Structure 1
Amino acid sequence: MSAEIDVLFVAGFGPIVRDVEANLSFFRDTLGISVSAGEQEPDYYTTGKLDGVKHFGMWPLYRAALSCFGKPEWPDDTPAPNAWIEFDVADIQAATRALEVKGHRLLVVARKEPWGQTVTRLLSPDGVLVGVTLTPFLRN
Protein backbone atom coordinates (compact mmCIF):
# COMPACT_ATOMS: atom_id res chain seq x y z
CA MET A 1 0.00 0.00 0.00
CA SER A 2 1.03 3.60 -0.30
CA ALA A 3 2.81 5.61 2.39
CA GLU A 4 -0.48 7.43 3.15
CA ILE A 5 -2.23 4.14 3.90
CA ASP A 6 -0.20 2.39 6.58
CA VAL A 7 -1.77 -1.10 6.79
CA LEU A 8 -1.09 -2.81 10.12
CA PHE A 9 -2.89 -6.15 9.66
CA VAL A 10 -5.85 -7.91 8.05
CA ALA A 11 -8.70 -7.20 10.46
CA GLY A 12 -11.19 -9.52 8.79
CA PHE A 13 -12.04 -11.53 5.72
CA GLY A 14 -14.89 -13.65 4.48
CA PRO A 15 -17.36 -14.40 1.75
CA ILE A 16 -20.40 -12.26 1.06
CA VAL A 17 -23.15 -14.83 0.84
CA ARG A 18 -26.51 -14.95 -0.85
CA ASP A 19 -27.58 -18.31 0.64
CA VAL A 20 -26.66 -18.35 4.34
CA GLU A 21 -27.68 -21.97 4.99
CA ALA A 22 -25.75 -23.39 2.02
CA ASN A 23 -22.64 -21.44 3.00
CA LEU A 24 -23.01 -22.37 6.67
CA SER A 25 -23.13 -26.02 5.63
CA PHE A 26 -20.02 -25.59 3.46
CA PHE A 27 -17.84 -23.61 5.88
CA ARG A 28 -18.95 -25.25 9.14
CA ASP A 29 -19.94 -28.78 8.16
CA THR A 30 -17.65 -29.42 5.17
CA LEU A 31 -14.53 -27.40 6.11
CA GLY A 32 -15.00 -27.71 9.86
CA ILE A 33 -14.65 -24.00 10.66
CA SER A 34 -16.28 -23.39 14.03
CA VAL A 35 -18.53 -20.39 13.39
CA SER A 36 -21.37 -19.10 15.49
CA ALA A 37 -24.20 -16.64 14.93
CA GLY A 38 -24.12 -13.20 16.47
CA GLU A 39 -26.68 -12.13 19.04
CA GLN A 40 -27.60 -8.95 17.16
CA GLU A 41 -27.18 -10.46 13.68
CA PRO A 42 -28.34 -14.09 13.84
CA ASP A 43 -27.54 -14.75 10.17
CA TYR A 44 -23.95 -13.43 10.41
CA TYR A 45 -21.76 -16.41 11.31
CA THR A 46 -18.30 -15.58 12.54
CA THR A 47 -15.22 -16.71 14.42
CA GLY A 48 -12.19 -14.99 15.88
CA LYS A 49 -10.41 -18.32 16.39
CA LEU A 50 -9.11 -19.07 12.89
CA ASP A 51 -5.35 -18.71 12.51
CA GLY A 52 -4.28 -16.25 9.83
CA VAL A 53 -7.07 -13.71 10.23
CA LYS A 54 -8.35 -11.82 13.25
CA HIS A 55 -12.01 -12.16 12.21
CA PHE A 56 -13.67 -14.48 9.68
CA GLY A 57 -17.33 -13.92 8.90
CA MET A 58 -19.97 -14.93 6.37
CA TRP A 59 -21.64 -11.61 5.64
CA PRO A 60 -25.07 -11.80 3.94
CA LEU A 61 -25.23 -9.56 0.86
CA TYR A 62 -28.28 -7.72 2.16
CA ARG A 63 -26.34 -6.81 5.35
CA ALA A 64 -23.41 -5.53 3.27
CA ALA A 65 -25.91 -3.44 1.27
CA LEU A 66 -27.42 -2.08 4.50
CA SER A 67 -23.96 -1.13 5.72
CA CYS A 68 -22.92 0.57 2.48
CA PHE A 69 -26.18 2.02 1.17
CA GLY A 70 -28.64 2.01 4.08
CA LYS A 71 -31.04 -0.40 2.39
CA PRO A 72 -31.07 -4.21 1.99
CA GLU A 73 -30.82 -4.24 -1.82
CA TRP A 74 -27.46 -3.98 -3.57
CA PRO A 75 -27.81 -1.31 -6.30
CA ASP A 76 -28.02 -2.59 -9.88
CA ASP A 77 -25.46 0.00 -11.05
CA THR A 78 -22.76 -1.30 -8.68
CA PRO A 79 -21.17 -4.75 -9.06
CA ALA A 80 -22.21 -7.00 -6.16
CA PRO A 81 -19.20 -8.32 -4.24
CA ASN A 82 -18.52 -11.97 -3.46
CA ALA A 83 -16.03 -11.32 -0.65
CA TRP A 84 -14.97 -8.70 1.85
CA ILE A 85 -11.62 -7.86 3.41
CA GLU A 86 -10.70 -5.25 5.97
CA PHE A 87 -7.26 -3.78 6.52
CA ASP A 88 -6.65 -2.07 9.85
CA VAL A 89 -4.60 1.08 9.28
CA ALA A 90 -2.52 3.35 11.49
CA ASP A 91 -4.55 6.48 10.62
CA ILE A 92 -8.11 6.05 9.29
CA GLN A 93 -8.50 9.72 8.38
CA ALA A 94 -5.22 9.79 6.39
CA ALA A 95 -6.09 6.53 4.63
CA THR A 96 -9.56 7.83 3.74
CA ARG A 97 -8.10 11.07 2.34
CA ALA A 98 -5.54 9.11 0.31
CA LEU A 99 -8.29 6.96 -1.23
CA GLU A 100 -10.33 10.08 -2.07
CA VAL A 101 -7.32 11.84 -3.60
CA LYS A 102 -6.63 8.78 -5.76
CA GLY A 103 -10.20 9.05 -7.10
CA HIS A 104 -11.78 5.95 -5.58
CA ARG A 105 -15.54 5.86 -5.10
CA LEU A 106 -16.04 5.47 -1.36
CA LEU A 107 -19.22 3.67 -0.31
CA VAL A 108 -18.75 4.45 3.40
CA VAL A 109 -16.52 7.28 4.66
CA ALA A 110 -14.83 6.92 8.08
CA ARG A 111 -18.04 5.88 9.83
CA LYS A 112 -17.91 4.74 13.45
CA GLU A 113 -19.87 1.53 13.87
CA PRO A 114 -21.83 0.63 17.05
CA TRP A 115 -19.19 -2.01 17.97
CA GLY A 116 -16.41 0.63 18.05
CA GLN A 117 -14.79 0.11 14.65
CA THR A 118 -14.33 3.04 12.26
CA VAL A 119 -14.53 2.02 8.60
CA THR A 120 -14.20 3.38 5.09
CA ARG A 121 -15.45 0.99 2.37
CA LEU A 122 -14.93 0.77 -1.38
CA LEU A 123 -14.90 -1.87 -4.11
CA SER A 124 -11.64 -3.20 -5.55
CA PRO A 125 -11.31 -3.31 -9.36
CA ASP A 126 -12.48 -6.96 -9.27
CA GLY A 127 -15.41 -6.24 -6.94
CA VAL A 128 -14.11 -7.25 -3.51
CA LEU A 129 -15.66 -5.08 -0.79
CA VAL A 130 -12.59 -3.52 0.85
CA GLY A 131 -12.57 -1.77 4.19
CA VAL A 132 -9.82 0.35 5.64
CA THR A 133 -10.50 0.32 9.34
CA LEU A 134 -9.55 1.34 12.83
CA THR A 135 -10.53 -1.57 15.09
CA PRO A 136 -9.39 -0.84 18.64
CA PHE A 137 -10.49 -4.21 20.11
CA LEU A 138 -8.33 -6.15 17.61
CA ARG A 139 -5.12 -4.27 18.44
CA ASN A 140 -2.83 -5.96 20.95
Structure 2
Amino acid sequence: MKVAFVAGFGPVTRDGAAARAFWSDGLGIELEEPAPGYLTNDTLDGVKAFALWPLAQAAESTFGTPQWPADVPEPQAWLELDLGSVDEIAPAVAELRAQGHRVLKDPTEEPWGQTTARLLSPEGLLVGVTYTPWMH
Protein backbone atom coordinates (compact mmCIF):
# COMPACT_ATOMS: atom_id res chain seq x y z
CA MET A 1 0.00 0.00 0.00
CA LYS A 2 1.20 3.54 -0.78
CA VAL A 3 -0.67 6.47 0.74
CA ALA A 4 -0.80 9.32 -1.78
CA PHE A 5 -2.06 12.12 0.50
CA VAL A 6 -4.20 12.90 3.51
CA ALA A 7 -7.76 12.96 2.20
CA GLY A 8 -9.31 14.37 5.33
CA PHE A 9 -8.72 15.18 8.95
CA GLY A 10 -11.01 16.39 11.67
CA PRO A 11 -11.89 15.93 15.29
CA VAL A 12 -14.55 13.62 16.62
CA THR A 13 -16.77 16.04 18.50
CA ARG A 14 -18.67 15.57 21.73
CA ASP A 15 -20.02 19.11 22.08
CA GLY A 16 -21.23 20.49 18.75
CA ALA A 17 -21.67 24.06 19.97
CA ALA A 18 -18.17 24.20 21.50
CA ALA A 19 -16.70 22.65 18.36
CA ARG A 20 -18.41 25.18 16.07
CA ALA A 21 -17.34 28.05 18.35
CA PHE A 22 -13.70 26.90 18.20
CA TRP A 23 -13.29 25.78 14.58
CA SER A 24 -15.65 28.15 12.76
CA ASP A 25 -16.14 31.19 14.96
CA GLY A 26 -12.67 31.08 16.54
CA LEU A 27 -10.44 29.96 13.70
CA GLY A 28 -12.61 31.19 10.84
CA ILE A 29 -12.97 27.89 8.97
CA GLU A 30 -16.23 28.12 7.05
CA LEU A 31 -18.37 25.06 7.73
CA GLU A 32 -21.44 23.71 5.97
CA GLU A 33 -23.97 21.34 7.57
CA PRO A 34 -25.02 18.82 4.86
CA ALA A 35 -26.48 16.53 7.53
CA PRO A 36 -27.64 17.39 11.04
CA GLY A 37 -24.60 17.87 13.28
CA TYR A 38 -22.08 17.02 10.54
CA LEU A 39 -20.03 20.13 9.78
CA THR A 40 -17.64 20.13 6.84
CA ASN A 41 -15.45 22.23 4.59
CA ASP A 42 -14.48 20.42 1.40
CA THR A 43 -12.57 23.33 -0.14
CA LEU A 44 -9.86 24.00 2.48
CA ASP A 45 -6.41 23.33 1.05
CA GLY A 46 -4.76 20.09 2.12
CA VAL A 47 -2.10 18.90 4.49
CA LYS A 48 1.54 19.74 3.77
CA ALA A 49 2.96 17.43 6.45
CA PHE A 50 1.83 14.31 8.27
CA ALA A 51 3.92 13.29 11.28
CA LEU A 52 3.82 11.16 14.39
CA TRP A 53 4.83 13.62 17.10
CA PRO A 54 5.94 12.19 20.46
CA LEU A 55 4.15 13.76 23.42
CA ALA A 56 7.48 14.70 25.05
CA GLN A 57 8.46 16.69 21.96
CA ALA A 58 5.06 18.39 21.77
CA ALA A 59 5.38 19.31 25.45
CA GLU A 60 8.90 20.66 24.92
CA SER A 61 7.78 22.79 21.98
CA THR A 62 4.66 24.05 23.79
CA PHE A 63 5.78 24.38 27.41
CA GLY A 64 9.59 24.22 27.28
CA THR A 65 9.75 20.93 29.17
CA PRO A 66 9.40 17.29 28.05
CA GLN A 67 6.69 16.71 30.67
CA TRP A 68 3.10 17.48 29.68
CA PRO A 69 1.48 19.50 32.50
CA ALA A 70 -0.91 17.48 34.67
CA ASP A 71 -3.54 20.26 34.58
CA VAL A 72 -3.78 20.25 30.75
CA PRO A 73 -5.46 17.27 29.02
CA GLU A 74 -3.02 15.31 26.87
CA PRO A 75 -3.75 15.94 23.17
CA GLN A 76 -5.13 13.15 21.01
CA ALA A 77 -3.62 14.55 17.80
CA TRP A 78 -2.04 17.70 16.43
CA LEU A 79 -3.12 20.03 13.67
CA GLU A 80 -1.37 23.12 12.41
CA LEU A 81 -3.25 25.84 10.58
CA ASP A 82 -0.88 28.05 8.60
CA LEU A 83 -1.77 31.70 8.15
CA GLY A 84 -0.84 33.96 5.23
CA SER A 85 2.02 35.72 7.02
CA VAL A 86 3.85 35.77 10.32
CA ASP A 87 2.22 39.14 11.08
CA GLU A 88 -1.23 37.51 11.15
CA ILE A 89 -0.48 35.19 14.07
CA ALA A 90 -0.53 37.62 17.02
CA PRO A 91 -3.87 39.20 16.01
CA ALA A 92 -5.35 35.71 15.48
CA VAL A 93 -4.22 34.66 18.95
CA ALA A 94 -5.69 37.85 20.43
CA GLU A 95 -9.03 37.05 18.73
CA LEU A 96 -8.99 33.50 20.10
CA ARG A 97 -8.24 34.75 23.62
CA ALA A 98 -11.01 37.36 23.36
CA GLN A 99 -13.42 34.53 22.51
CA GLY A 100 -12.40 32.71 25.69
CA HIS A 101 -10.07 30.07 24.23
CA ARG A 102 -7.07 29.10 26.39
CA VAL A 103 -3.82 29.72 24.53
CA LEU A 104 -1.07 27.35 25.71
CA LYS A 105 1.79 29.03 23.86
CA ASP A 106 2.04 32.57 22.56
CA PRO A 107 3.51 33.14 19.10
CA THR A 108 7.13 32.03 19.14
CA GLU A 109 9.67 31.48 16.38
CA GLU A 110 10.79 27.86 16.62
CA PRO A 111 14.47 26.91 16.09
CA TRP A 112 13.52 25.52 12.66
CA GLY A 113 12.07 28.89 11.50
CA GLN A 114 8.34 28.27 11.88
CA THR A 115 6.36 30.73 14.03
CA THR A 116 3.78 28.98 16.18
CA ALA A 117 1.13 29.62 18.82
CA ARG A 118 -0.70 26.64 20.32
CA LEU A 119 -3.98 25.83 22.04
CA LEU A 120 -6.21 22.82 22.66
CA SER A 121 -9.47 22.31 20.84
CA PRO A 122 -12.54 21.12 22.78
CA GLU A 123 -11.85 17.63 21.38
CA GLY A 124 -8.28 17.50 22.69
CA LEU A 125 -6.36 18.35 19.52
CA LEU A 126 -3.16 20.35 19.92
CA VAL A 127 -3.82 23.15 17.43
CA GLY A 128 -1.04 25.32 16.09
CA VAL A 129 -1.75 28.72 14.56
CA THR A 130 1.40 29.00 12.49
CA TYR A 131 3.40 30.51 9.70
CA THR A 132 5.77 28.08 7.98
CA PRO A 133 7.90 30.08 5.51
CA TRP A 134 9.08 27.17 3.35
CA MET A 135 5.50 26.05 2.68
CA HIS A 136 4.52 29.35 1.05
Change (3 A) 1:138 1:6: farther
Q: How does 1:48-127 map to 2 (within 5 A)?
A: 52-90=46-84, 91-127=88-124
Q: Which one-letter code corresponds to 1:118 in the other structure? A: T
Question: Whose strand fraction is larger, Structure 1's or Structure 2's?
Answer: 1
For residue 31 of structure 1, what is the aligned residue in structure 2?
A: none
Deviation at 1:6, TM superposition (A): 6.1
Runs of 4+ in 1 over 4 A off after TM superposition: 4-7
d(CA) in 2 for partners of 1:54 and 1:106? Answer: 24
d(CA) in 2 for partners of 1:94 and 1:117? Answer: 17
User: Residue by residue, what CA displacement relative to the aligned partner does 1:16-66 show, whole Å, maximum 9, x if unpaired?
Assistant: xxxxxxxxxxxxxxxxxxxxxxxxxxxxxxxxxxxx420111100011111
d(CA) in 2 for partners of 1:124 and 1:57? Answer: 19
Q: Which one-letter code corresponds to 1:122 in the other structure? A: L
The answer for unaligned runs of 5 or more in structure 1 is 8-51
For residue 130 of structure 1, what is the aligned residue in structure 2?
A: 127
For residue 37 of structure 2, what is the aligned residue in structure 1?
A: none
Percent pairwise identity: 51
Q: Is the 8 A contact 1:6 1:95 kept in 2?
A: no
Q: Which one-letter code corresponds to 2:132 in the other structure? A: T
The answer for unaligned runs of 5 or more in structure 2 is 1-23, 30-45
Q: Secondary structure at the match of 2:53?
A: strand
d(CA) in 2 for partners of 1:6 and 1:80? Answer: 25
Q: Secondary structure at the match of 1:59?
A: coil
Structure-1-length-normalised TM-score? 0.62
Deviation at 1:96, TM superposition (A): 1.2
Please report the RMSD computed on the Cα atoms of aligned residues, expressed in angstroms. 1.7
Structure-2-length-normalised TM-score? 0.63
For these two proteins, the number of residue pairs brought into alignment is: 94
Q: Is the 8 A contact 1:89 1:95 kept in 2?
A: no
